[in-house]
Chain A
Amino acid sequence: MKKTKLFLLTAALTLFLCGMAIAQDSQNHNVTVTLGEVAKIGINGGNVTLTFNTAGTTPGDLPTPVTDATTDLRWTSNVASGLTRKITAALEADYAAGIVLKVTVGAPATGTTTGSSAGEITLSTTDQDAFTGITNENCKDAALSYEASLTAMVEPNGGEIHQITYTLTDDA
């Protein structure tokens, strides 16, 4: 009888220990998401033509400034925490003396920006800040408002074409 009890006890203990032994196991793997920096800018709309209306000019005055707001900027940007970006604008070459071209980059109508317009700037071959304080955002429909004016009469030129470059760049 003693032996039988011993056998039963051993069997029960073994089963119990099997049940209690490592009844679970765990393994893992990493998921790594690398989000790269993005600095993309684009212009919506085509080339802009500004023509001075000399026919309506009052004798003794300079032709009235002409404006255009048919194009706009769009951008997508992300930067590391604490950093910002800006949009600069520059001409590839200056206009003839007497012709002044200014631009204002307006607030984007689509999307939310942390940045702000630098207001009206006079374009030259030097990069100038047009919109600053950009962080992590995608924005569209930021109107480009151009104004061409004369500071002195220039000879008829048949159309002087220059290229304007907008650059989305890290703030210094």
Chain B
Amino acid sequence: MKRVTKRLILVTLCAILSSGTVCAITITVFGTWDLIITDLDLQGGAGDDFNPSYESAIDAVTVDIAGIHPFNQNYRVDVSKVDSTWHSNFHLYVRRTSEGSGHNKSSISGGITYQEVTDIDQTFFSGLGGRSGITIQLNLTGVSIQVPPDSYVTTIYYTALEI
């Protein structure tokens, strides 16, 4: 192999390494939320409405951020939803309930108070360096007896972006 070619390969490798080992950020989402509301959820009994809001388990969803430098790459996670059969009275919120784990020089911030998930991407939280086991809790409001009985589905999208 020519010396020039070797140098080219070396420079390329150095460039890749200096840019954060790998270039592609990845986000992995585990979990879901299946909420079943019955007459046991009435505020009292006959004549009363449903409890208007419901909260998932504190760790209903877990998010891993990977594919970036463990402590030298900033990222942001946006959140939005796409409705399948959703009711307009419903409002869905998310919040981050843990920092997950990662390199001791990595960090994470934002997203610790409930924010509504809409059809438009909005910043959820951000961080520095890959982390795993970031837990998410969900909250649903707007439930009432005026919503016809049915199965309502929406899909929440979490998008990780290098910044």
A residues adjacent to B (C-beta < 8 A)? 3, 6-7, 10-11, 14-15, 17-19, 21-38, 40-42, 74-81, 110-111, 136-140
Known: A30-B154, A34-B35. A139 touches B47 (CB 8 A): yes
Q: Return the CB mask of B27-71 against A: 1 if under 8 Å, else 0.
A: 111011111111100100111110000000000010000010000
| Inter-chain contact A28/B24, CB cutoff 8 Å | no
Residues of B within 8 A of A (CB): 4, 7-8, 11-12, 14-16, 18-20, 23-29, 31-39, 42, 45-49, 61, 67, 81, 90, 92, 138, 140, 143, 145-162
* Complex contacts, A41 vs chain B, CB 8 Å: 46
**Number of A-B contacts defined by CB within 8 Å:** 181
Q: Which residues of A contact B4 (CB under 8 A)?
A: 3, 6
The answer on a CB contact under 8 Å between A76 and B46 is yes
CB-contact partner of B42 in A27, A32, A38, under 8 A: A38
Question: Pick the contact of B140 from A10, A26, A33, A80 — CB < 8 Å?
Answer: A33
**Residue from the list A21, A23, A26, A37 in contact with B27, Cβ < 8 A:** A26
Q: Is the interface of A mostly helix, strand, loop or mixed?
A: strand
Instruction: Enumerate chain A residues within 8 angstroms of B152, measured Cβ to Cβ.
Output: 32-35
B66 to chain A, nearest CB (A): 9
Residue of B nearest to A7 (CB): B11
Instruction: Report which of A11, A22, A137 forms a contact with B24, defined as CB distance below 8 A.
Output: A22
